[in-house]
Homo-oligomer: A and B are copies of this chain.
Amino acid sequence: MRAGKVCVMTDRNLAGLPPMRSVLESLVRSGIEHKVYDNVRVEPTDTSFKEAIAFAKKESFDVFVAVGGGSVIDTCKAANLYACHPDADFLDFVNAPIGRGKPITGALKPLIAVPTTAGTGSETTGVAIFDFEHLKAKTGIASRAIKPTLGVVDPLHTLHMPERVAANSGFDVLCHALESYTALPYNMRSPCPPNPINRPAYQGSNPISDVWSRHALNVVAKYMKRYAVRDPEDKEARSSMHLASVFAGIGFGNAGVHLCHGMSYPIAGNVKTHKAKGYNVDHPVVPHGLSVVLTSPAVFNFTAPMCPERHLEAAQILGADVSRAKREDAGPLLADTLRRFLYDLEVEDGLEAVGYSKEDVPALVKGTIPQERVTKLSPREHTEEDLSHLFEASMKLY
């Protein structure tokens, strides 16, 4: 890559861990000038994005390296983007309606992503998500142009993950696979964009994304329990889940996600007192993977009538006997299969277990409305009342 000056981004927790050491040793050994930015915020905000962007603009970096989970990789994408477009306003490239959603036409610098969690798939996608603090809403930047150039996917980098962090990131993979496989087909999206440059990053399910989504689901079904709860030293399971995260990333990075992800943002954003097991943070948090998976039984029960074959196939991959199932059984069967899967993996018993009650439903629905970028990829159209029912049905799982 003929790198002259490299910008390495990470977070404070990772700054002293082996993946960062490997990267820095490699840069030093090759005599490549570099600077480290280790101030990435876990669950980044517009403010934390802007700080990283300011750092990237101060120097003239010609390669970016992101070492971390989705927060680090997403922040690095934004830093690269705005450093290469120094005159752009921050909202120019942020998704409409919060931002202006302008297409990115200029070239960015190469970005090498070194994921240290198996879950986000951010190393494969053109999406960077952040909390827009002033509106209390998750939004992001979505464009093929910000996709990393290269991902270095090493399962040994995930060995430091505590058990619940591993489990939750695995649930994110599970939902990426299930949501992208059941997303609205690419040829049913409307209206057609006037020009390919205006195509959304999330195009709906298609013959390419289907291959990845289904394959990732097979790997999750085979390795998730070994990976998450049995033996953290099981390198075959860690390797397989890390690759499944990449595979699901390629799938959902093209097809998109829908209701579980759209509804997860207010579940994470409205957290009151929930202390997540295994997370070293000083504030209440519902981890992303958990916030996504808690609604999955209700969501897939709801979407099944639109493409029952795919829901039955998913249930079968996750271990259900579908030999005598009818099309109308698809929703309840996949929902039950997911409940059993989540119970075995010791997932909290629904939204109540992370601090929500029926009174919170209107706020959760309100927080889902602005997530139209993803919720419109649901195969089934939905009203606010439908969303209320989905949150209510997710209060208890077992």
A37 to B247, CA, bound (A): 40
Is A228's beta carbon under 8 Å from chain B? no
Contact pattern, A 19-48, Cβ under 8 Å of B = 1, otherwise 0: 000000000000000000000000000000
On chain B, the residues within 8 Å of A207 by CB distance are 243
On chain B, the residues within 8 Å of A243 by CB distance are 207
Task: Give 5 CB contacts A-B under 8 Å.
Answer: A207-B243, A211-B211, A211-B212, A211-B215, A211-B247
List CB contacts (< 8 Å) of A197-215 with chain B.
Answer: 207, 211-212, 215
- Of the candidates A211, A215, A243, the one having the most CB atoms from chain B within 10 angstroms of its own CB is A211
A212 to B212, CA, bound (A): 9
Q: Which residue of B lies closest to A2 (CB)?
A: B105
List CB contacts (< 8 Å) of A163-220 with chain B.
Answer: 207, 211-212, 215
Q: Which residue of B lies closest to A218 (CB)?
A: B211
On chain B, the residues within 8 Å of A247 by CB distance are 211
User: Residues of A at under 8 Å CB distance from B?
Assistant: 207, 211-212, 215, 243, 247
On chain B, the residues within 8 Å of A212 by CB distance are 211
A212 to B250, CA, bound (A): 13
A32 to B212, CA, bound (A): 37
A1 shortest CB reach to chain B, Å:
10
A-B pairs, top 5 by smallest CB distance, nearest first, are A211-B215, A207-B243, A211-B211, A211-B247, A211-B212
A32 shortest CB reach to chain B, Å:
15
A211 to B218, CA, bound (A): 11
Q: Which residue of B lies closest to A240 (CB)?
A: B207
A392 shortest CB reach to chain B, Å:
39
A211 to B207, CA, bound (A): 13
Q: Which residue of B lies closest to A216 (CB)?
A: B211
A243 to B243, CA, bound (A): 24
On chain B, the residues within 8 Å of A211 by CB distance are 211-212, 215, 247
A247 to B211, CA, bound (A): 10
Q: Which residue of B lies closest to A215 (CB)?
A: B211
A254 to B192, CA, bound (A): 33
A201 shortest CB reach to chain B, Å:
17
A140 to B211, CA, bound (A): 31
On chain B, the residues within 8 Å of A215 by CB distance are 211
A359 to B318, CA, bound (A): 56
Q: Which residue of B lies closest to A210 (CB)?
A: B215
Q: Which residue of B lies closest to A247 (CB)?
A: B211
- Of the candidates A207, A212, A243, A247, the one having the most CB atoms from chain B within 10 angstroms of its own CB is A207
A247 to B207, CA, bound (A): 10
A201 to B91, CA, bound (A): 41
A327 to B207, CA, bound (A): 33
Q: Which residue of B lies closest to A212 (CB)?
A: B211
A215 to B211, CA, bound (A): 7
Q: Which residue of B lies closest to A150 (CB)?
A: B196
A2 shortest CB reach to chain B, Å:
9
A121 shortest CB reach to chain B, Å:
14
A361 to B215, CA, bound (A): 43
A243 to B208, CA, bound (A): 9
A316 shortest CB reach to chain B, Å:
16
